[in-house]
A = this chain, B = another copy of it.
Amino acid sequence: MNVMFQKVAMLGLGLIGSSLCLAMRKHGLAQNIVGYAKTPETRQVALEIGLVDQVYATAAEAVCGADLVIMCVPVGACGQLAQEIGPHLSPGAILTDVGSVKGTIVRDCASFVPQGVHFVPGHPIAGTEQSGPRSGFAELFENRWCILTPLAGGDAAATAKLEAFWQACGSNTELMTPDHHDLVLAITSHLPHLIAYTTVATASDLESVTDTEVIKYSASGFRDFTRIAASDPTMWRDVFLNNKEAVLEMLGRFTEELAVLQRAVRWGDGETLFNLFTRAREARRNIIAAGQDTASPDFGRVQKKS
């Protein structure tokens, strides 16, 4: 037990919010956890399964007296939320978020944060394709990275305390500027999601291959794309609307590379294909070496016949 905050206000209790509640419980990081959620259903579930000690129907009530406030809502909803809670934040409190885009969050929120409250935007690089208050688990952040993007001139002690909090949840932490964060995530996350969505859409609209066939034979690669493409639609709409420039830049580069491979397929250029495939395999080995995935041969997916 290492109580770091007296009262933590969780604004939004979806996958990340609920996982954070469970992680705080597991490691004893908060004396008191209160929550806000938009729907009565989520508020009820959150109490029922013990994510929070109290739950409120407005964010303004939830943040009263909290020394840590975490916005766990879609990127596009953060600005309005900050505006709503701004007048109710306690002096000395740390305000953070978990959004996948940082530039527009800073733009949309910073002006609503009163003097004396420390706004330190953050982004835990962790998740699953699930959503909702029942999808969380305490281990979600273990051995994952959490990026903080403190503002110029911000309070260094607040940043350090938030770093320590994420580390106590099992994460590694890293500091960078909001703009650099958005570029890094455009390639590691936003582009792969857009591509996965596109692939699934392509498969849905074929006349020559039925949906049933696509599903039956999905184990051959398509399946992994659908997992990524199953993430929350609202969250991802907001990501693309809020990281437009970096996503378009990465898309342009992707399209160029794809043209090269397409040409190699058309002209039967096996050497170009082989060399690129070999290079890609190397990238995979580096990810396993860095502990960001497992090399176990069945990937935890062995299923018994029912």
B-binding residues in A (CB < 8 A): 100, 125-130, 135-137, 139-140, 142-145, 147, 170, 174, 183-185, 187-206, 208-209, 211, 213-231, 233-234, 236-238, 240-241, 244, 247-248, 250-251, 253-255, 257-258, 261-262, 264-266, 268, 270, 273-274, 276-281, 283-287, 290-295, 297-306
B198 touches A261 (CB 8 A): yes
Q: In the docked arrangement, what's the CA distance between A304 and B139, Å? A: 9
A292 touches B189 (CB 8 A): no
A219 touches B301 (CB 8 A): no
Q: 29 A-B Cβ contacts within 8 A?
A: A125-B219, A126-B219, A128-B297, A136-B297, A183-B209, A187-B209, A189-B220, A194-B261, A194-B265, A195-B225, A197-B276, A198-B257, A198-B261, A200-B279, A201-B276, A201-B280, A202-B250, A202-B254, A204-B283, A218-B287, A226-B280, A229-B281, A229-B284, A230-B285, A244-B266, A244-B268, A294-B303, A299-B300, A300-B300
Q: In the docked arrangement, what's the CA distance between A264 and B254, Å? A: 17
Q: In the docked arrangement, what's the CA distance between A204 and B280, Å? A: 8
Question: A110 to chain B: closest CB distance in Å?
Answer: 22
Question: A146 to chain B: closest CB distance in Å?
Answer: 10
Q: In the docked arrangement, what's the CA distance between A285 and B299, Å? A: 20
- 8 new A-B contacts, CB < 8 A, other than A192-B222, A244-B268, are A125-B217, A145-B216, A170-B305, A183-B208, A191-B202, A195-B225, A224-B224, A294-B303
Q: Which residues of B contact A227 (CB under 8 A)?
A: 224, 284, 293, 299
A237 touches B274 (CB 8 A): yes
A187 touches B214 (CB 8 A): yes
Q: Which residues of B contact A286 (CB under 8 A)?
A: 211, 215
Q: In the docked arrangement, what's the CA distance between A255 and B147, Å? A: 33
Q: Which residues of B contact A266 (CB under 8 A)?
A: 244, 248
CB < 8 Å neighbour of A218 from B136, B262, B293: B293
Q: Which residues of B contact A223 (CB under 8 A)?
A: 287, 292-293
A298 touches B216 (CB 8 A): no
Q: Which residues of B contact A185 (CB under 8 A)?
A: 217, 220
B187 touches A203 (CB 8 A): yes
Question: A243 to chain B: closest CB distance in Å?
Answer: 9
CB < 8 Å neighbour of A283 from B203, B234, B253: B203
Q: Which residues of B contact A184 (CB under 8 A)?
A: 209, 213-214, 217
* Known contacts A215-B292, A237-B270, A265-B244; A303 and B202 CB within 8 A of each other: no
Q: Which residues of B contact A237 (CB under 8 A)?
A: 270, 273-274, 277
